[in-house]
Amino acid sequence: MRVCPFCGTDNEVFFRFCLGCGADLDDALGPPDADAAPTVAPPPAKTRPKAQRPKPAPEALKPPPVEEPLPTTMVRRAPAEPMEPSPRRRLSRQTPERNKRANPKAGSGQTAQGRLVLILEDGTDGAVYDLGPETTVIGREGADINFPHDDFLAPRHAQFSYGGSQLTLEPLESTNGVFVQVSHEVELRSGDVFRIGQELLCFELLGDVIAGRGGGDGAASEIGSPVPEGAWGRLGQLVAPNAWGAVYLLGGSDIYLGRERGDITFPGDGFVSGLHAVVMQRDDRYFLKDLGSSNGTYFRLTRSTPLRGGALVLAGQQLFRVER
């Protein structure tokens, strides 16, 4: 080691300048002994790299074979069968098979003055029947237009007739009658029957009912409960011919009928609208009016009645639209 005489820093033997103060150690201490100098190994001799034999050039890469495309096969799908529309129930209680036969009178040289269009259960038009210039009878059998599978039709159920240009509908002898949709106020008389939804209702005036209790030919009169104050009529729910279910007393000037709202409600009948129809008292007269219901209000005919174009007629299970 060489100690600097100026700052006392220890330095390696071969250092010429002090690491501490930078003084020239050779001037201050003299050159170091040759034996103390480190031996530096000579650099290795450079050798020429051996020449390498060039590698043979790689063979040109062949492109991968192109596969021929497979032939395209067209799969022909079987045509889908058309879906039948979902049937929608209307006023009828069962769905009979439809008779598509047109009125045979239409091909007998007579000129048709009007038509009956059968309305199917999904609301679309079905068969069309021509109405001749005289009379056309509809029924189950033996009529001009027959529906043999409708058990609610009489053999000869109702008759359409023309008097000049006016078409009229007359009910014939039948158990279930023929109904026309109410398009305006219809006057009610005691004993009249009308239909809302599936409900068949009979209208009666209490005065006529009480008068019928009187005994005739000396017989005793029937005893009954006193009439509630303000009551003037009743509606009877017909569940079978001449068989009543529920009975509703009528009082006041307007009695509303519906499924959810009104004075008389039928919550279990999905074909009755929320507010369906109204029975009105005007002095000593009584009227029935539809309130824009979805399925309409139908009045049972008791006599020959004129029909307008577009009128809806319900006979048995068959619903028709009149076209003139």
Matching CATH topology for 116-177+303-323 and 183-211+231-295? yes
Fold of the CATH domain 183-211+231-295: Tumour Suppressor Smad4 (2.60.200)
- For Cα atoms 222, 224, 229, give the angle at the middle one, nearest 5 degrees: 140
Structure tokens at 249: 């007393």
Residue 104's nearest CA partner among 87, 79, 129 is 129
Kindly give the residue spans of alpha helices, DSSP state H, lying in the chain.
25-29, 206-211
Report, as an integer, the average pLDDT of 58-65: 47
Q: Where are the domains of the chain?
A: 116-177+303-323, 183-211+231-295
**Distance, CA of 171 to CA of 304 (rounded, Å):** 7
| pLDDT value for 109 | 52
**Distance, CA of 2 to CA of 158 (rounded, Å):** 145
Q: How many helices (H) and strands (E) does the chain have?
A: 2, 22
Report, as an integer, the average pLDDT of 2-17: 81
| pLDDT value for 174 | 85
pLDDT top residue among 150 and 8 = 150
| pLDDT value for 310 | 94
Instruction: Provide the mean pLDDT of the chain.
Output: 80
pLDDT bucket at 36, cuts 50 / 70 / 90: low
DSSP string across 191-234? T-EEEETTEEEEEEEHHHHHHTTS--TTPPPPP-PPPPTTEEEE
User: pTM of whole model > 0.75?
Assistant: no
Instruction: Classify domain 116-177+303-323 by CATH number.
Output: 2.60.200.20
| pLDDT value for 213 | 63
pLDDT at 88 over 70: no
pLDDT bucket at 74, cuts 50 / 70 / 90: very low
